[in-house]
Amino acid sequence: MIDTLAGRLDEAAVSRTAVAQFGADAGLDVATAYAVQEALVARRLDRGETVVGLKLGLTSRAKMAQMGVDEVIWGRLTDAMHVPDGGTVSLSERIHPKVEPEVAFLVEGGAIVAVAPAIELIDSRYLDFRFTLPEVIADNTSASGFVVGPWRPVPDGVDNLGVLLEVDGRVAQVGSTAAILGDPRRALPEAARLAGELRDGWVLLAGAATAAVPLTPGAHVRVTVEHIGTASLRASA
């Protein structure tokens, strides 16, 4: 079953066609869902991609409420998901992408050594962007892309910084880093606990501080985290 479900999700991503939720009949539990995720990401690795980091999801109430799921989840980031800061994201390569403001950490020797503003692109492989907890875990927690702004040393106190998501110069979401686990630095022990592994040089996305917004053709998206900086992307027309 693990390989069948991984194959279905991989095919959905590659063909940019959403699939139906697996439903209760599939009997997917959280442990099996993570095994599906591993098999799904293994297909990417077989195509030459490498894992470059981890992401946490549903670390804020805003995201839990938006998605109707209330447990912290984690997924894998690969090099192919990386979008350069200011780069263009292809909409035709995705199903129904959304963007959300994130804080990224650089991990070295089991510790956080730098911080950056980030944008996560999420793109559920399920119809209507709807799923249960095991379903979204199996789908690599909707991971599709990420932009990391300039790295800088971690300033004192990153636990209550303003977060702004702008689309075409208009404010789309505002929040605070306090929304991320009470303090985004908690992402490190949380990721270590959940994933059991954090390699040197990996990027860790701590989770969105606000709800996500749909990415529309030609949109210019900018995320600003107070005292940390700015990251941006543009969607293809």
Site of interaction with Mg ion (CB under 5 A): 120, 208
35, 122, 164, 233: which one contacts ligand OOG (CB under 6 A)?
122
Min dist CB 124 to ligand OOG, Å, is 5
- The residue among 10 and 129 lying less far from ligand OOG, judged by its C-beta, is 129
Helix/strand/coil (H/E/C) assignment for every residue in 105-161: EEEECCEEEEEEEEEEEECCCEHHHCCCHHHHHHCHHHEEEEEECCCECCCCCCCCC
- Shortest Cβ distance from residue 205 to Mg ion (Å)? 6
Considering only residues 171-210, where is the footprint of ligand OOG by CB under 6 A?
A: 207-208
Q: Which does 136 bind (CB under 5 to 8 A by kind): ligand OOG, Mg ion, none?
A: ligand OOG
What amino acid occupies position 82?
Answer: H
* 134, 139, 144, 149: CA torsion to nearest 10: 40
Q: Does 58 bind ligand OOG (CB under 6 A)?
A: yes
Show the tokens assigned to 105.
């950490």
Which of Mg ion, ligand OOG, none binds 144 (CB below 5-8 Å, type-dependent)? none
Q: Which residue is nearest to ligand OOG (CB)?
A: 57
**Of 87, 54, 73, residue with least CA distance to 201:** 54
CB-facing half-sphere around the CA of 11: CA atoms within 13 A? 8
The entry of Mg ion, ligand OOG, none that residue 89 binds, CB within 5 to 8 Å by partner kind: none
Q: Taking CB under 6 A as the criterion, which residues in 143-172 touch ligand OOG? A: none
Cα-Cα-Cα-Cα dihedral of 64, 67, 73, 76, to 10°? -130
Closest approach of Cβ 122 to ligand OOG, in Å?
Answer: 5
Q: Could you give phi then psi for residue 130, rounded to 5 degrees?
A: -120, 140
Interacting positions 66-95 with ligand OOG (CB under 6 A): 67
Interface ranges with ligand OOG (CB under 6 A): 55, 57-59, 63, 67, 100, 120, 122, 124, 136, 141-142, 207-208
